[in-house]
Chains A and B, each alone.
Chain A
Amino acid sequence: MSGTFNKRLAIVWLVLTAMTLAYIWLDHSADEDGVLKASTVVTVAAIVIALVKVRIIFREFMEVRHAPVLLRRLTDAWVVLMAAFLLGSYFIGSALVG
């Protein structure tokens, strides 16, 4: 029992770390020849990856996966809510600035 759990946790950690390292690649791909550029694609990708990581932490590390339905739904709703807030403020803000 303990073995499978620990293996699973190790895999989870590896996945999370890989996603973190993906940010380095994302960061390098954003600049063209060292010129800084605002990029909606990078922004949205960064936020989405972060939220996916948050959900994995919820489900695996925080053991929501074994939790009652209410808590599982609630944490999922929260991830969606955060996404809505973050992307919403980004896009609505962009639209207002023009």
Chain B
Amino acid sequence: MTNLQEDSSTKADRHATRFVPGQPDMWVFVLFESLLFTGYFSVYLVGRIQNRELYLQSQAALDLRFGVFNTIALLLSSWAIARCVQASREGAYRDALRDAFLTIGFGVAFLVSKVLEWGKEIRLGNTFTSNEFFQHFFFLTSIHLLHLLIGFIVMGVAVYQLRSPARRSQQLVETCATYWHTVDFLWVLIFALLYVVR
């Protein structure tokens, strides 16, 4: 991370004009929503400490491979949408559109793998009502999946914008991208907390 930061403070960069990506209004959502999820996470961590053994045993029933695959799928989609924003900023709308569809594709991969994972857990007998850990597991994953589904609508808006020359609004595309990245980084946190934390 440090070397990336050093890169960012090169002179050329510092003189570039500063701008807020997308509607500044979307950032209110990003910050508020991450605060809300921080609340959910804190409740989860406190519950976890009070009943370590149960959480550890239940957590062992999760498959880390699903978690890693899902994280990488979402990181890929985030990467694609970031490229999409760059391409559309430079006027390469065909590339931008392709990247937008890639984003949706990786999102669908995440969705499918998530549903498969749920199916697997339910077959193992671990459901929403099984125990406290799985309450949190199903709650956090499904509320996140809801954000992802809304994300598909948001990506629909982005594609709609990119499709026609008359509509193209760089600001809206960036706003949609900001939303999608939010879905991504929330998952990064959920993944760490549900699968890795001991």
Contact = CB atoms under 8 A, between A and B. Distances in A.
Contacts, number: 164
Specify the main secondary structure of chain A where it touches its partner: helix
Contact of A1 (B18, B39, B90): B90
Given A50-B188, A61-B78, A62-B178, A2 B92 contact: yes
A9 B188 contact: no
Interface string B58-78: 011000100110011001101
A50 B31 CA distance: 17
Contacts of A30: 198
A21 B75 CA distance: 12
A36 B92 contact: no
Contacts of A97: 49-50
Interface string B126-139: 00000000000000
Contacts of B31: 74-75, 78
A26 B197 CA distance: 10
Contacts of A50: 188-189, 191-193
B38 A16 contact: no
Contacts of A39: 198
A90 B38 CA distance: 12
A74 B32 CA distance: 12
Nearest to B92: A2
B105 interface: no
B74 to A, nearest CB: 10
A32 to B, nearest CB: 12
A86 to B, nearest CB: 6
Contact of B192 (A46, A56, A69, A78): A46
A6 B46 CA distance: 41
B136 to A, nearest CB: 13
Nearest to B95: A2
Interface string A52-64: 1111111111111
Interface in A43-81: 43, 46-47, 49-69, 71, 74-75, 78, 81
Question: Which 3 residue pairs across A and B have the least CB separation, nearest first?
Answer: A50-B192, A89-B42, A93-B49
15 contacts: A6-B86, A20-B71, A20-B75, A23-B68, A37-B198, A39-B198, A46-B193, A61-B82, A62-B181, A63-B21, A63-B174, A66-B16, A86-B38, A88-B42, A93-B49
Given A21-B68, A59-B8, 17 more contacts: A12-B4, A36-B56, A46-B192, A46-B197, A50-B192, A52-B1, A53-B188, A54-B188, A61-B184, A63-B85, A64-B21, A65-B13, A71-B24, A74-B27, A85-B42, A86-B41, A89-B41
